[in-house]
Amino acid sequence: MKRLVEINSSNDIFPEYKETPIGLLLEYHNLRRQLDSYSQAQLLIGMCMDNRKHLRIPDNFAYIIRAGGANLRYSEFKVSYAIAVGDVRYIALIGHNNCGMVNLISRKEIFINGLVDKAGWDREWAEEHFMHFAPIFEIGNEIDFVISEAKRLRLRYPKIKVAPLLYKVEDNRLYLINEK
């Protein structure tokens, strides 16, 4: 099974996303579609806070929530706001490869030393902080996490179309994730 689907033409977009804001996102970013003008958001984009990612989309096209690993569990009120008040009916959940939220334990010492040296924290406090929060924010595998988060959001918001995507940092392109 090929998990990542390249979007090189509009024919590559899954039928359930064609002619939706999710399809438009893929066309704007990957296919360089001419940017349209919007006065209201068409979708919510949940993506990682990583600075290596930049989307090519029109102004006012999307609400964007950036959270480590594209983990929206602790941003659910903001998701609800975008749906209830912002009137969005689509969510593009974008993970990316080489995510820092994968295998957090391998960065334990760097994290702790960084808080001590750069933020002036007490070492014990920094270690306790890491041990408390790392298990909460660890995402495991990027693709598996985005799929599981998309499924969770679909259960939470059954009338909302949620698309799991992956951004490859080496080519700056979006890929659909084949969930089957």
Indicate the pTM of the whole model: 0.94
- Can you give the pLDDT at residue 180? 83
User: Are the beta carbons of 50 and 70 closer than 8 angstroms?
Assistant: no
> The dihedral of CA 98, 101, 103, 105: what is its sign?
positive
**Tokens (6 digits) for 15:** 């039928």
Provide the b/e sequence for 51-60 (b: ≥16 CB within 10 Å).
Answer: eebebebeee
Nearest of 50, 7, 12 to residue 139 by alpha carbon: 50
Q: Are 56 and 29 in contact (CB under 8 A)?
A: yes
CATH 3.40.1050.10 boundaries in the chain: 4-100+140-177
Give the E-state strand segments of 106-169 in sequence order. 161-168
Looking up tokens 């899954």 gives: 14
Q: Helix 108-119 to helix 123-137 angle, to the nearest 10 degrees?
A: 130
Cα–Cα distance for residue pair 7/18, rounded to 1 Å: 12
Q: Are 97 and 126 in contact (CB under 8 A)?
A: no
Rounded to the nearest integer, the mean pLDDT of the chain is 96
Query: Which of the four pLDDT bands, split at 50, 70 and 90, describes residue 113?
Result: very high
What are the pLDDT digits (tens) for 130-156? 999 999 999 889 999 999 999 999 999
CATH architecture of 4-100+140-177: 3-Layer(aba) Sandwich (3.40)
- In the structure encoding, which two tokens stand for residue 29, read together? 């970013």
Assign 160 a pLDDT band (cuts: 50, 70, 90): very high
| 32-71 pLDDT per residue, tens | 999 999 999 999 999 999 998 899 999 999 999 999 999 9
Q: Per-residue pLDDT for 120 more than 70?
A: yes
